[in-house]
Amino acid sequence: MSNETPNDLFSKCFSYDEAKKVQAAGLYCFFRPIEETTGGNVVTHGKKRVMIGSNNYLGLTHDPRVIEAAKSAIDRFGTGFTGSRFLNGNSVLHEELEEKLARFVGKESALVFATGFQSNQGALSAIVGKKDVIFSDQENHASIIEGTRTAAGETIVFRHNDPEDLERKLKEHRHRFEGALIVADGVFSMSGDILNLPAFVALAKKYNCRTYVDDAHALGVLGPMGQGTEFHFDMPGSADIVMGTFSKSFASVGGYVAGSKDVINYIKHHARHFMFTAAMPPSAAAAVLECMRIVQSEPHHLANLRKNTKKMSTELNRMGYYTLGSQTPIIPLLIGDDMMALAFSQKLYENGVFATPVVRPAVPEGCALMRTSYMASHTDSDLDYSLTVLEKLGKAFGILGNPERKASMDALAEKHFGKRGARAVSKNVSAMFA
């Protein structure tokens, strides 16, 4: 019973029925309860399925050394620090992690937050004042968008990964503000696209801006040891601030920002999302420290991730899927219609493959995606099975082997994704896998 009254604050809640309609159609693909995880597989609804939707890129969540490090930290510190680091929740684990992390990503200093979302909100709101401006990529993660809304300054959005459009915006607006910050993901979470860092750094110098790179999906993925976007381009130190998370390659939870000592010290004493949030739990911090040690001493994890990514990218493109030219473990499959994407995801699930659809408003209308992502822990058997199911369902849904659909998808990809569209998918995987 809603007990709705005129001008009721909850009216929008009572009238919201989009999720209910999808559930009634048997196509609801969200909040699936995971009962067990092992390697590249999960158990849901009592059935084992290949997981191709996880961000556990290096497959370290089940590494016995990471598990033991987390357990040992609980034995030493308990299950939580029960306070903010600013007051009574700071620990030697946090400080050790910040020191080693800064060294790993090539910065003077780092600051660890309880979550990656809070890292973006806290840092952006702390450093961008009323007379400043943020130039933000159109496809930036929701945490960056929320951070720009929290910041006191103005935000100007530029076309995704488009230096020419950014320069147009800089020419038009830069002079109106005191400070300016160019903010973009290093690896974009839905498309798998890699930021054109060299072009953006050059524009930042030309127009007196600072740069902020979100490496949430680049940490552990790009660079010789997984140090991130700067190292992928052999440009360590080129970004003023690098942000990242531990909830993906580093098998834990939490986030960080890294940069010069003075900038990090300022954020440390001005970011309310840091100062008034309980500290990252001891088990989480210890797990990240062990992951960092493993990543730096055992390169085969990253090598296996890249091998698996190359295999899936090559095979999916061969089948005829539109992968938008992704060069990372995030390989999107352009489906088109929202309901088709939901139905496709449900059929994958029924056939023992767990992947997630991306529909409006996360993508433009008619550009629904299947977001697939791959891990170092996937076996050839896992991947071969996933490919078999994807090819079978791709043909059944008319996504593959349909000349008329191919022509329409060409136009759609070109319109919404430009250079990452129809032309990009015909290219081979980038030199990062060479």
User: Which of 297, 325, 357 is the last residue in one of the domains?
Assistant: 297
Q: Are residues 145 and 213 in the same domain?
A: yes
Is 278 contained in some domain? Answer: yes
Cα angle 177, 183, 189; round to 5: 155
6 prior amide bond cis, ω within 30: no
Q: Are residues 205 and 351 in the same domain?
A: no
Number of compact structural domains in the chain: 2
* CB within 8 Å of 350: residues ≥ 6 apart: none
Is 7 contained in some domain? Answer: no
C-alpha count within 13 angstroms, C-beta hemisphere, residue 281:
14
Q: Are residues 292 and 309 in the same domain?
A: no
Q: Are residues 119 and 245 in the same domain?
A: yes
Q: Are residues 220 and 317 in the same domain?
A: no
Q: Are residues 325 and 234 in the same domain?
A: no
Task: Let me know: does 183 contact 212? Beta carbons within 8 Å.
Answer: yes
Q: Are residues 370 and 424 in the same domain?
A: yes
Structure confidence at residue 417 (pLDDT): 67
Domain of 205 in residue numbering reads as 64-297
Token duo for residue 228:
């991130």
CATH number for the domain harbouring residue 186: 3.40.640.10
Q: How far apart are CA 339 and CA 433, in angstroms?
A: 34
CATH number for the domain harbouring residue 305: 3.90.1150.10
Is 13 contained in some domain? Answer: no
Q: Are residues 284 and 313 in the same domain?
A: no
Token duo for residue 161:
């990964």
Is 192 contained in some domain? Answer: yes
Token duo for residue 110:
């780092």
Structure confidence at residue 424 (pLDDT): 40
pTM here? 0.93
Structure confidence at residue 361 (pLDDT): 84
Is 143 contained in some domain? Answer: yes
Q: Are residues 276 and 420 in the same domain?
A: no
Is 1 contained in some domain? Answer: no
User: Which of 297, 322, 349 is the last residue in one of the domains?
Assistant: 297
Is 241 contained in some domain? Answer: yes
Q: Are residues 102 and 167 in the same domain?
A: yes
Q: Are residues 192 and 274 in the same domain?
A: yes
User: Which of 297, 321, 339 is the last residue in one of the domains?
Assistant: 297
What string of pLDDT tens digits covers the 434 residues of the chain?
567 788 999 999 999 999 999 999 999 999 999 999 999 999 999 999 999 999 999 999 999 999 999 999 999 999 999 999 999 999 999 999 999 999 999 999 999 999 999 999 999 999 999 999 999 999 999 999 999 999 999 999 999 999 999 999 999 999 999 999 999 999 999 999 999 999 999 999 999 999 999 999 999 999 999 999 999 999 999 999 999 999 999 999 999 999 999 999 999 999 999 999 999 999 999 999 999 999 999 999 999 999 999 999 999 999 999 999 999 999 999 999 999 999 999 999 999 999 999 998 888 888 899 999 999 999 999 999 999 999 999 999 999 988 777 777 777 777 766 645 433 433 333 333 33
Structure confidence at residue 407 (pLDDT): 73
Is 40 contained in some domain? Answer: yes
Q: How far apart are CA 426 and CA 45, in angstroms?
A: 38
Sign of CA pseudo-dihedral 121, 122, 123, 125: positive
Q: Are residues 241 and 375 in the same domain?
A: no
Structure confidence at residue 171 (pLDDT): 98
